[in-house]
Amino acid sequence: MEMGPIEDTSSPESEPRDIEASRQKRGHVLTELVETERVYVAELGSIIKGYKMEMNNESLSHLIPTALVGKADLLFGNLEEIYHFHGETFLRDLENCISNTELVALCFVQRREIFFRLYSYYCQNIPRSERLREQIQSEPQFLVACQQKLGHKLPLAAYLLKPVQRITKYQLLLKDLLKYSDEPNCCTELQEALDCMLVVLKCVNDSMHQTSITGFGGDLTAQGELLLQGSFSVWSSSKRERLLRLKPSQRHIFLYEKAMIFCKHSKPQAHNKATYHFKRYLK
C-alpha cells in the first residue's frame, strides 16, 4: 500500500501567535516582579521606621521591656541593610531593565554575592530573633503600640518573615520567566539567576527548620554553621546487651560545624508548624 506525502496541517500563523503569547506572559511576569519589589521595599521601610526607630522614641521608652533594651540588632538582624540594598540598588536595577528579560536575569547574577551575604546573615539570626520575641511575649505593650500606630493588621513576627517570603517569590518568578523564554542566551542567564536564588532559599529553609527545634537546652548559634539537615534512619545499640537494634528510628539530624543534633520530627497539626523534639547531642 502506497502512502502519499504527509501534509503539514499546522497553521503558518500559529507559531507567531505562540511567540507573541509567550512574550506577553513574560511581560506580565516582569511587571509583577517590579511591582512586588516596590511593595517589598515599602514593607521593609515600615518595619524599620515603625518598629526599630521607635525603640529610640523617648515617649515610648516606658513600654519597652527590659529584655529588649539595646537589642534592636538582635531583634531585626540586618533588616535595615537589606532594606537599603533593595530600595537604593536592586529596585533601581530592575526598573532600568524591565523590558529586557536577559538583563533582569543579570541583575540577580551580578548581585548574587550581596544576596547571599545579606540573606545568609538574616537567616542565621532568625533563631536569635525568635528567642528574644519569646522572652518578651508577656510584655507586648511596645510592639502592640507600634503595630497600632502603623495600622498593620498583622504583628511584627509576620513582617519579619517578609525576607523569607521574598526569596521564595523570586525563584517562582524566575521559573515562570524561564518557562516563557526560548532564546538560548536568555535561558542560560535565567537558569543561573534561578540557581543563585535556590542557594539562598536553601539557607532560608535551613534556618526555618532550626527555629522549630524544641527541648534543646544549649545555644544553637554556638554550634557553628549549619552544614546539613534532613531526615535519616538511625540505628542505636543497647547499653546493657551491646546489640544493635534491628528496627531503626526516624530522626531529623542537624549537622553543624561543631556538633550533631538528633531530633524527632512531629508533623504540624492545624495551624501549628512542624516541630523537632530534641533527642540526642553529639560533639
pLDDT digits (tens, 9 = 90+) for 174-233: 999 999 988 888 899 999 999 999 988 888 788 778 878 889 988 887 888 888 888 998
Asked if residue 237 has pLDDT above 80, the reply is: no
Asked if residue 2 has pLDDT above 60, the reply is: no
% of the chain surpassing 90 pLDDT? 60
More confident residue, 219 or 245: 219
Asked if residue 249 has pLDDT above 60, the reply is: yes
Asked if residue 242 has pLDDT above 60, the reply is: no
More confident residue, 216 or 9: 216
Query: How far apart are alpha carbons 200 and 171 in whole angstroms?
Result: 10
Residues of the chain with CATH 2.30.29.30: 226-282
pLDDT for position 123: 86
Paired residues of 255 in beta bridges: 228, 260
Paired residues of 244 in beta bridges: 237
For residue 247, count CB atoms less than 10 angstroms from its CB and return exposed for 0-12, middle for 13-18, buried for 19 or more.
exposed
Q: In angstroms, what is the C-alpha Rg of the chain?
A: 25
Query: How far apart are alpha carbons 172 and 195 in whole angstroms?
Result: 12
pLDDT for position 272: 57
Torsion of CA 236, 242, 244, 245, to 10 degrees: -70
pLDDT for position 136: 95
Handedness of CA 151, 154, 158, 164 (dihedral sign): negative
Query: How far apart are alpha carbons 71 and 66 in whole angstroms?
Result: 10
Mean pLDDT of 74-102: 96
Mean pLDDT of 65-92: 97
Q: What are phi and psi of 255, to 5 degrees?
A: -100, 115
pLDDT for position 6: 54
Nearest by Cα to 81 from 110, 57, 106, 52:
52
Asked if residue 240 has pLDDT above 90, the reply is: no
Query: How far apart are alpha carbons 213 and 223 in whole angstroms?
Result: 14
How many DSSP H helices and E strands does the chain contain? 10, 5
pLDDT for position 23: 80
Asked if residue 105 has pLDDT above 70, the reply is: yes
Nearest by Cα to 252 from 222, 217, 215:
215
Q: What are phi and psi of 240, to 5 degrees?
A: -80, -45
pLDDT for position 17: 65
Least confident of 5-19, 78-92, 230-244: 5-19
pLDDT for position 16: 63
More confident residue, 24 or 243: 24
Check if CATH label 3.30.450.20 holds for domain 15-211: no
pLDDT for position 260: 95
**Per-residue pLDDT band at 12 (split at 50, 70, 90):** low
Query: How far apart are alpha carbons 224 and 259 in whole angstroms?
Result: 8
Query: How far apart are alpha carbons 75 and 72 in whole angstroms?
Result: 5
Asked if residue 239 has pLDDT above 90, the reply is: no
Return mean pLDDT, the chain: 87
Mean pLDDT of 121-145: 92
Least confident of 8-17, 76-85, 225-234: 8-17
Strand order in the sheet with 226-234: 213-214, 275-282, 260-266, 249-256, 226-234
Residues of the chain with CATH 1.20.900.10: 15-211
For domain 226-282, give the CATH number. 2.30.29.30
